[in-house]
Amino acid sequence: MAKFDDIEVGQFAEMTHKMTMEDLARFVELTGDDNRLHTDASFAAQTSFKKPVAHGMLGASFISTVIGTKLPGDGALWFAQNLEFLLPVRLGDELTIRAEVLRKIDRMNIVELQTDIFNQHRQKVTTGIAKVKIVEQVAVVPKLAESGRRVALVIGGSGGIGGAICRMLASDGFDVAVHSFRNKGAADKIVADIVEMGGSSASYSADISSPSDVTEMVQRVVRQFGTITALINCATGSMAPHKLDELHWSDVDEQLTTTIRGAFNLSQSVIPIMVESGRGKIINITSHYIEAPVANLLPYITAKSALAGYSRALAFDLAPRGIQVNLVSPGMTDTDLIADVPERIRLLTAARTPLRRLALPEDVAAAVSFLASDRSNFVTGETIRVNGGQMML
């Protein structure tokens, strides 16, 4: 909750947003403003703009996001705003929305903000002055972390393994934040399943290779659920095979970007929350293939091996702060990720597994459930292998 005394002149906050056709369609649906300059390419081509432009107030609406969630944040009553629309905003433009404190009016708890929007070329497209009253709470609300609330952020929660993990953690009493990148529909379905079973859940979209995307997502999760006590990272790159003589560094780099840069960005954003509350569980999903490699998966195996090393190093550094970091290493698991694996290979793998089958997503979720629970409070830097006995150490 924003406190007037904590706000200082010169303090600023900003966010970024890429203007999409979906944004435009939702704005038209909500407001009814279907002006053809915004919605009809052939009409716009006959104007001086030549191409459709986004509604000015659509871009300006993100000023509300900055004011309501970042500066001042909770308790901000936005009651006045003047605006100048300096340049058109096009679909695909990357906008940076910024608010900076110009002055404070102490007797009224009012903050005056300079509000500006820039495009990807650093051109100012919208500018104005906002006035915001800080409405402070009367009652004191205890910190959610102190009440024992458990909140899991599941990265890649829209996938086969991720979805099973989300549902199992919800059944364990966690509030579940379901992350997706390109499959929001699947994430929303998992959220609906959890809500139907009486749980609390919401979906979030983010590119985990982008620090700003991750930071914004984590802030939204904390705003909704109060804290994050468990981070489960199921993100994975493609398992498309690459023959060694056809391999490019870009194939390796793509895997490292998703797996290692993604894990790093997530850690950077979530660890401070866990340190503040004095507890936390981080669980990364690696792969059986780092111990039993197969042909033509060098980029994938390299990235997952790096994730294992990263996790053990992180476990060592975070142990004194009461945060455990562990790994779950599934064998071949019956999900969409192996849809392109030939049936012969799947059958052969099952036949060579002592338990005579492939792993199910629920098998992996059960291991994660243990590591996320208080039953694992003295376990850190470990790998639980869910491979039906293919690797026995």
Task: Say how many C-beta atoms besides its own lie within 10 A of residue 272's C-beta.
Answer: 11
Choose the catalytic residue: 204, 289, 300, 310: 300
Which residue type, as a one-letter code, is found at position 248? Answer: H
DSSP output for 190-250: HHHHHHHTT--EEEEE--TT-HHHHHHHHHHHHHHHS---EEEE----------GGG--HH
Is 300 a residue of the active site? yes
The span from the CA of 285 to the CA of 263, in Å, is: 11
Which residue type, as a one-letter code, is found at position 343? Answer: E
Cα separation of the two ends of the chain: 50
What is the sign of the dihedral through the CA atoms of 253, 258, 262 and 263?
Answer: negative
374's tokens: 């208080």
Task: Say how many C-beta atoms besides its own lie within 10 A of residue 259's C-beta.
Answer: 29
Please give the order of strands across the beta sheet that includes 383-386: 201-205, 175-180, 151-155, 230-233, 280-285, 323-330, 383-386
The span from the CA of 116 to the CA of 35, in Å, is: 25
230's tokens: 């468990």
Beta strands at 175-180 and 201-205: parallel, antiparallel or unpaired: parallel
Provide the annotated active-site residues.
Answer: 300
